Structure 1
């Protein structure tokens, strides 16, 4: 079995976990999203610390906090990824998984646009056309539904800017995400204390504090750490072994599974306007992927 095959297999598995994660968070739909997000942060931190201790990478992890510039980048990245995670959890809980799926389809094109604006990366005519198709898709959905798809845009934009910051951090995905959950951990612990001891209700106006009170919910909240960490570890493994062009293509499996679950399992509305918007996005991604592969074959 070649290293490339192992890398592609790891990437497929990572995207399957990400793509099926709406089923996991839907099972926790009765738990307020901030409570779920806090547990996701806590148990991710526990898993990452255990992994780094096993791999003897704690020194590498701690060195990230010796530079003021790096700490600022970690703090901003933590804010962006926690917003993205929280919004994703909320969208699944309130029946907006279709919008969530669309957001993760738009993200690659947002990333390309940010690369052009921030890093002055030159885009080809085909890439600009793909970005334009994505914009037309969003405008079409806005006009058709008479509402801006804010969830989709927020997920794509927060993840896009998160990617910009990750490009400036000289650390692998596992170490950098461990640092991000580490700086979020105090807020998560404070919130969980407030929920359990002080009856805090948060954004949704209800309080549960289910951890320890219900065995199923307790287990699911603990597993949220693995649902977060395992695909990131697989992604890290894949990115070192598989060509980046293939890694990029396989990532579309994630929003495809999310969309299928939203429509066929959650039975969310999927109007003609959604169909047009998704068709435009799929066309843009197909063209973008073909262009990327074509350029890769010329340089390879």
Structure 2
């Protein structure tokens, strides 16, 4: 199934807000947008605009691309852009007062009250990225690795660390190491929580969880964290898109700047060549 401009836009907007640790909060009674909201939307706009100028958001191009390839390329570009923005800022992007604290109910129309959503901006940039890709975008480890330029095993290890950091941020204490049997490792538990294990291995993990209450509690917590993060962003997906993110209907960039289209065609071919083996194996 080919991607649509709307699905790509929603995905880019969710991911940009998670990467910058900034939440969409309406100005009290005016329907305006705060600076934190604008920064994330501006980041998504810049990434989408580069694809639009290259003609990659035209109906013809969307229909011709392998399923998921354009979305992964967009998420990878957003990761790099947000990483540069965070490094240049020299400080954490999260500002509780700018995001609207619990005591400021005037700005609560879009604010996610889930504890996991409140804790996410306090995590390192790399942890926010991998959690957003796994929980919000529902990508498997191979796809996460493609976005973050690492192997699937490295993506799983990064996700395990990010989940431990999120739990520590929620509880205020360091997450203890999870002990497992010789035939069972923590990566199996993460794979079970994310639904990516083979059926036979899944049955083995289920049997182990029936005997290990702590492991079962940890798996349930990972699933609950992901569900609450998705719920926190549900209002973001439901509200009308700001004008700067309206790329429908797209206009082929070749009609305006043929040289720019040629340059982006070359870049897209290189990106797609890197994605083809993983996409074919899925």
* Structure-1-length-normalised TM-score: 0.26
Normalized against structure 2, the TM-score is what? 0.27
Q: Which has the higher contact order (CA 8 A, sep 6+)?
A: 1
